[in-house]
Amino acid sequence: MRELTYAEALREGLRQAMAADERVFLLGEDIGAYGGAFGVTAGLLEEFGAERVRDTPISEAAIAGACIGAALTGMRPVGEIQFMDFVTLSMEQLVLQAAKIRFMFGGSASVPMVLRMPGGAGTGAAAQHSESLENWFVHVPGLKVVMPSTPYDAKGLLLAAIDDGNPVIFIEHKLLYKTRGVVPEAPYRVPLGQCQVVRDGCHVTVVATSAMVARALEAAAKLAEEGIELEVIDPRTLSPLDEAPIVASVKKTGRALIVHEAVRTGGYGGEIAARIVDSEAFDFLEAPVRRLAGLDMPVPYNRTLEYHMVPQVETIAAEARRLARLEY
């Protein structure tokens, strides 16, 4: 079957959305002739022209604000923030405007926009270009937050996000852009708000996000050789969260490990843990709910320090092994 990289899948999704709907247009820094910082929009300027692939000034507030204004007037903008870290400069537009307009106007106005941004560590880009800030947006009612982990989901979730009538924060891990996977050529949608059980297991439930999904699957393969079977779940959409499959899995395994790259304090793992404890799964737990996350520090430039700051295959395997054996 046909395989594409994660970046190619995103580009194909953008191309198909633009071809199908003239209201869809792109804006961001260096997305035109340069093709985007990570090459996702390469070739789209030549195909659709400068009116629909717009290079912007270096102003994240302007990108977000232009998306909001265009969406309010009936367009379907897809903005790009060059690095997730820089979205800090657009928080007023996103948190006070985009997230609240539909509610404040009683549904008579909506903001159907997508804001794409590459996040995560692993490229040696240091503290100002390597953050995982997804939980800032999960905290804001009115924003949807999406984190695809595979090329298939990247295309399908992006097309679904463009169709959605609400502002969607679309987070792409930089280490995933070159990963490959099966991607159908025809347009398709992966519905927002549906998590996926990506590996069946019976001993430990592992809920992992973004690049951590592949690491969790690799850890699961290693532990399977020891007779420990992990069930791996990818939320895909962090907000709204589809928690029912997670609860069902924890009821089956009695153990839960949550893995994400963002720092542990205030991270998404705390929300997942609370949802499990607040649910009927609590009575089935045989061990404390565990979290593996990034250390509470800025991302180091040094590659060795950066490696040890975030969960890796071996740390996921070690934590899951302890849970399976009840070594707490």
- 307: how many CB neighbours lie within 10 A of its CB? 12
Radius of gyration, alpha carbons of the chain: 20
Looking at the domain assignment, is residue 157 inside a domain? yes
Looking at the domain assignment, is residue 190 inside a domain? no
Residue 236: its pLDDT value, please? 98
Residue 327: its pLDDT value, please? 83
Residues 241 and 142 in one domain: no
CA distance 1 to 152: 12
Spell out the per-residue pLDDT of the chain, length 328, in tens: 899 999 999 999 999 999 999 999 999 999 999 999 999 999 999 999 999 999 999 999 999 999 999 999 999 999 999 999 999 999 999 999 999 999 999 999 999 999 999 999 999 999 999 999 999 999 999 999 999 999 999 999 999 999 999 999 999 999 999 999 999 999 999 999 999 999 999 999 999 999 999 999 999 999 999 999 999 999 999 999 999 999 999 999 999 999 999 999 999 999 999 999 999 999 999 999 999 999 999 999 999 999 999 999 999 999 999 999 988 7
Residues 156 and 41 in one domain: yes
Number of structural domains, the chain?
2
Say how many CA atoms lie within 13 Å of 141 toward its Cβ. 4
Looking at the domain assignment, is residue 67 inside a domain? yes
**Domain region containing 167:** 3-182
Residue 38: its pLDDT value, please? 97
Helices (H), 24-166: 44-48, 60-72, 91, 101-104, 134-138, 151-163
Give 239-245's long-range contacts (Cβ < 8 A, gap of 24+): 239/137, 239/138, 239/143, 239/144, 239/145, 240/144, 240/192, 240/193, 241/193, 241/195, 241/271, 241/272, 241/275, 242/193, 242/194, 242/195, 243/195, 243/275, 243/279, 245/195, 245/196, 245/197
Residues 219 and 168 in one domain: no
* Model-wide pTM > 0.85: yes
Residue 104: its pLDDT value, please? 97
Options 129, 173, 203, 260, the catalytic residue:
129
The strand pairing partners of 257, in sequence order, are 206, 290
User: What is the secondary structure of 189-247 as a DSSP string?
Assistant: ---TT--EEEE--SSEEEEE-THHHHHHHHHHHHHHTTT--EEEEE-SEEES---HHHH
Residue 247: its pLDDT value, please? 98
Residue 33: its pLDDT value, please? 94
Residues 201 and 255 in one domain: yes
Residues 110 and 214 in one domain: no
Residues 142 and 64 in one domain: yes
Q: Indicate which CATH number applies to the domain containing 56.
A: 3.40.50.970
CB 32 within 8 A of CB 54: yes
Which amino acid type is present at position 176?
L
Looking at the domain assignment, is residue 188 inside a domain? no
Catalytic residue check, 129: yes
Among 182, 206, 238, give the residue marking a domain's end. 182
User: What is the secondary structure of 256-273 as a DSSP string?
Assistant: EEEEEEEESTT-HHHHHH
CB 99 within 8 A of CB 143: yes
Residues 164 and 227 in one domain: no
Looking at the domain assignment, is residue 238 inside a domain? yes
Residues 71 and 35 in one domain: yes
Looking at the domain assignment, is residue 187 inside a domain? no
Q: Indicate which CATH number applies to the domain containing 314.
A: 3.40.50.920
Residue 326: its pLDDT value, please? 85
